[in-house]
Amino acid sequence: MKTKITELLGIEYPIIQGGMAWVADYHLAAAVSEAGGLGIIGAGGAPASFVREQIQKAKEMTDKPFGVNVMLMNPEADQIAQVIVEEGVKVVTTGAGNPGKYMAMWKEAGIKVIPVVASVGLAKMMERAGADAVIAEGTESGGHIGAATTMTLVPQVVDAVSIPVIAAGGIADGRGFAAAMMLGAEAVQMGTRFVVAKESIVHENYKKKVIAAKDIDSEVTGMTHGHPVRQIRNNMTREYLKLEKEGAPFEELEHLTLGALRKAVVEGDVVNGTLMAGQIAGLVKQEQTCAEMIQEIMEQAGKLLK
């Protein structure tokens, strides 16, 4: 399928993998790129040296284009931005902030820059700053989220900018893909479905929780501190939300979450770990290879769009 995004990025299918912290390592990124989508290494909160190693390993696994996501709250974001240039990465996505200060440097290096936005305002600002496309991410998504839904955000961003728009949040099958196209998107970004990919290094306990999750099994923590994070309900979210309701200071809550994502992804602690996942988890029913997922989605979407 040809769209402005497949043309821009030189990929076969307009499916981009979310740059999920801890989850989106080089195994997943290379598998998605090999399957014809755009794989992304999620830098998350990792140090720049780790991100460099991840990029080098991805290059050994695939000759196809892949990207790196810079989580802008990472204290080493400046160094990671530099590593991306030095390693010749083709595509950058950003999250959880405004990447304005890196734009000139990345554009000069010929990198395609695709910020994730959660509002029309930031989308317009990113277009003015030279972004090649934007990912409009709805509040259905897992992890750090904005307020607008995908259904409302995507068409409003499409109307507000001239660059291609990628839809994210609540998309996990061919129906979601086709719906996103109807809203004017040129591609989709998916996270939750790829969490349970066979090539994903996520602990089996975490994958089982995503597969077992139903439509209303996620909670949003951190709303009162301006860092809303969607994750699957467990002991951690109950504890967090109770403390938040009692007006606990940010430091105390931060202590609770510190390292909790790693605990869930690496150690499989599904009780006290952070199980970031989107509302579409209820639709994700089985572990498959990235190639199987992408083929299935494109086939289903193809029929619907005809």
Give contact residues for ligand TUI (rule: CB under 6 A). Answer: 21, 44, 71, 95-98, 116, 118, 122, 137, 143-146, 227, 229, 276
Shortest reach from residue 60's CB to ligand TUI, in Å: 26
Beta bridge partners of 220: 230
Shortest reach from residue 6's CB to ligand TUI, in Å: 22
Residue placing its CB nearer to ligand TUI in the complex, 63 or 251: 251
Residue placing its CB nearer to ligand TUI in the complex, 254 or 296: 254
Residue placing its CB nearer to ligand TUI in the complex, 23 or 301: 23
Residue placing its CB nearer to ligand TUI in the complex, 36 or 146: 146
Name the closest residue to ligand TUI (Cβ). 143
Shortest reach from residue 166's CB to ligand TUI, in Å: 12
Shortest reach from residue 177's CB to ligand TUI, in Å: 19
Shortest reach from residue 163's CB to ligand TUI, in Å: 17
Residue placing its CB nearer to ligand TUI in the complex, 40 or 297: 40
